[in-house]
Amino acid sequence: MIESWTNKEEVLTVDLGLKPALLYDSNAACAEQLQRYLSRLRSLQLVSRSLLTLDLNGNGLIINADALRSNLEKTLRGGGPPVVNVSASLEKPAVSNAQRGRLTGEVADFLLLLEEFRRHDEADKPLYVGEKSDDWNLCTIFGLLLGYPVTYWFDQARSFENCLSMTPLVVATASAAWQMDGNTHRFCLYSFSVPAALQEETRPELENWRLRLQERFEQQSIMKDLSISQSTVTLPSVCL
C-alpha cells in the first residue's frame, strides 16, 4: 500500500511549501499508484491542487509546482545551488562552476514541460518527463528538485562511483513536529550532506537555505518546533 511508505505529514510539508518536492523511493509502486494516493488526499481536502505527481526516469516524486517553479527560476537567474563534482576520478570533491552552468539548460527544459503540463490542467495525471531526462545526471537533478542548497554531480559516462569514500561529510538535518490524534509526531524535513572541506565555500548557500526555511516555517501554523542540526560523518562508501 502507498500509505505505508510515507506519513501524511511528509506530503503536507510539500503542500505547505516547506520543501518543493518529496522523492518516493520506498518500494516499486509506479507513478499511477502514487497519483491515486495523492488524489485520495486531495478528495479528503487534505492537500491542494498545487501538488503534482512527477515521473522522472521511473522515479516518482510529489512536487509543489509553485514552490518548485520559484526555485528553478532562481537557478536560471544564476542563483542555483553549487554543484559539487564527486566523480571517482577525482582525489577529492570540488565545486564545479562548469556543471552549475550546464544545469541551467536542464532546468529550462524541465520548466517548459511543467508549464505546458499545467496549462492543460492535468493535475489528476502524472507528469512524465520522458526522453529529455535520459542524459541528465539524476543525482544532480534530485538535489535541485528536493531543494537542497548543494547538489552532487559525477561523470556517469565514465563511472557511477564517487570519491566520497572516507571523506568527512557535514550532514545537515531539519526536523519538525506535527500533532495528530492527540499525539506529537517528529519527522525529518530535510537531510543532505556537503563535504566538510567545502563547508566554508558553500556557507552562503547553506545559510540562505536555513534562513529561507525558517521564514517559510513561520508563515504556517500546522508544523511546530523546527530544529536544524549538523553532524560530521566519515563512511567507507557513499551511495548517491
Kindly state whether residue 135 falls inside one of the protein's structural domains.
Answer: no
User: Per-residue pLDDT tens for 116-147?
Assistant: 888 877 777 899 998 878 888 999 999 999 99
Report yes or no on 52 lying in a domain: no
222 within a domain of the structure (yes/no): yes
Inside any domain, residue 13:
no
Would you list the DSSP string of the chain? -GGGT--HHHHHHHHTTSSSEEEE-SS---HHHHHHHHHHHHHTTSS-TTEEEEEETTEEEEEEHHHHHHHHHHIIIII---EEE-BTTSSS-EE-HHHHHHHHHHHHHHHHHHHHHHHTT-TTSPEE-GGGGTTS-HHHHHHHHTT-SSEEE--TTT-S-BS-TT--EEEEEEEEEEEETTEEEEEEEEEEEEEGGGTTTTHHHHHHHHHHHHHHHHT-SSSEEEEEEEEEE--S----
pLDDT, tens only, 52-84? 999 998 888 999 999 999 999 988 887 789 999
Q: How many domains does the chain have?
A: 1
> Which domain covers residue 178, as residue numbers?
169-228
Q: What is the pLDDT of residues 146-193, one digit of tens each?
A: 999 999 999 988 888 999 999 999 999 999 998 877 788 899 999 999
In a domain, 134, yes or no: no
